[in-house]
Structure 1
Amino acid sequence: MAGGLTEKQFAHRVYDSLQALSCPLVQDLYLQEDESMLELLCRPSVLRTDILTWICRRINPKFGASKVMSAESKDPDGLEKKMAAIGQDLMLCKADDLDLIKGNASPQRQLQFLEQLCDVIPGFRKSAGHRTGVEMLLSEVFAAENLPHLREMLQPALDPWPAHIEVLHEVSEWAQKPREEFPDVSDLLQSTQTELEQLQLKCDFLNSDEQNPSAFSPSSLRLAAADLQQQMMTFSHLYETDLRVYCSRDAPSFSTETDIFQRVHQKLLACNTELEMHKEITEVSGSVNEETKHLQTQPRYWSGVEKHTLPDQLEEITQRIENVVSQLNT
């Protein structure tokens, strides 16, 4: 036996190779017993001949052409001779070895011949675990010990819920917390207004500089910096040209507590703070605008078993109120 396998194990391996090759003649058989596989592959039958013909066509696509079929109609053994010729070309058998082709040889020799033919099929890679996951799952499900469980699944004792009951159950679960997922727009606007007021309270400099409208003016900042630069350049030039000869002491050093630096620093800080506030306000306004747009266009509120947009929901509520009022008046 090949690799110490028994005839049944060898037949199982060849059968798995045919499944890995997606042979349509064995894919729908779902054989589980090794003995059934051995009988399929080694006993003469029309199905065995068809499987061998399919393998030869995979090896040589020209096998089974019209000329070959016309020759077979004249010679009863024409098809078997063509298969034997392919086997001879592959050095797997002799041209007159028709017993091997018809299935009259020993099982060991037939299985070895079939396995060698499968190995030369283009694109086939033999491996110990070449069976796909789907095939292994089907083999497990249709195993003899699992058939009682399969029948129980196909015919359950408790019938499942009807489709409309399942839909109502899912709707009831989603309808329990619509406000938690989609807060009311008025609550969202109110919380945004509160956050803006708290942010304004934290910016004390806004209230202190109300009387100075140019506190955040970029032109005022540029003017202060240019004024400082001009004064320093004028003094430096005057000192070098006129005052140095009359001074017997070292050149004066500028104090770090000069008021102009403090003013420049304050204006820079105020300008940066204002830019950050404008950025945050723009982002918050964009978020509020986007959320309001979604409330107007996207269905978020349940009515019955369907979701509706906010305008549709308000229109429906208004219509209900008008109907109730009209009934009370009548």
Structure 2
Amino acid sequence: MAEVNAVLALGSPGDFCEDEGDNRVFKAALEVFGKLKDLNCPLLEGLYITDPNTIHELLCTPSKYRLEILEWMCTRVCPSMQDKFSSLKGAPVEAKIQEMVKLGHELMLCAPDDQELVKGCASAWKQLQFMGQMLDIVQSLAVGCSGYPRAGPLAQSEQEKVAELARQLQEGTARLWALRTESLEQYKAGEAAGGIDTSMLEQKLRLVISDFHQLVLAFIQVYDDELGECCQRPAPTLHPCGPIIQAVYQTLASCSQLLQAVVEVTDASVEAVDAVERQEREPICWDSRSFVMSLATKIEELTQKYQIFNDSLQKGMG
């Protein structure tokens, strides 16, 4: 516990905290400390402190002990991180910090270059938010694992599905952050040109990401508590008549379209007949040299002329 005592001996909260006098910061520190104890963090064994100022200083002051707590959180969220940290044994501490930042970015908890947050140099409120959300994920994973103590092929299949979903979530997170960076750059360029406020946009984006994170956690909890058993039921049996019904439906739909086309053609024919009958009855002036006459009269006149022309043609050929 020498490291812990060294941290606690650094000084009063006023020496390092920009949130001095802010009760919500100390309340958040107590909540994070309580979550660590509930999860049986081994780094808190033998540590008995209750003073909010001391707890605040322990969690929000840069120290090796604080980084070890964060390292423990990361390994609980992603067990494969243990091998990564083991391979970095003896390497500069910045290497571990970069891995923690990478994991936090994949979990949508921080920016890809937020080393100051992990180091403990960011604002206390931001640090405590980061830790609290990380511990919420640890608690959710603990609840999910408790619902599956059984072994066997089914459990292995579930683990593979969870791993695949985790991979897809990480890819989606990376794309979302890439879009966020691109969007902010575009709006900053627009701000320089037209005075657009990017701070409000960033706040809204953070709120949306936070809401999405909470929805994912809520779904995981509801699935484990209520939906898990239902999802283990066998898939429903589809009736073999399904394709036949679909084919009949498509045939009836085609027949209906054909009948509709017949109706439209019939209506058009009736209108055409009506138009011809009106033209037969109504006198029309065909040209400036002709008298006004009906279509029937005009056709009869043309027929007679054609007959005279045809007769003369036949005589000429004979």
TM-score, structure 1 normalization: 0.35
- Per residue, is there more helix in 1 or in 2? 2
Q: Computing the radius of gyration over CA atoms, which structure comes out larger, 1 or 2?
A: 1
TM-score, structure 2 normalization: 0.36
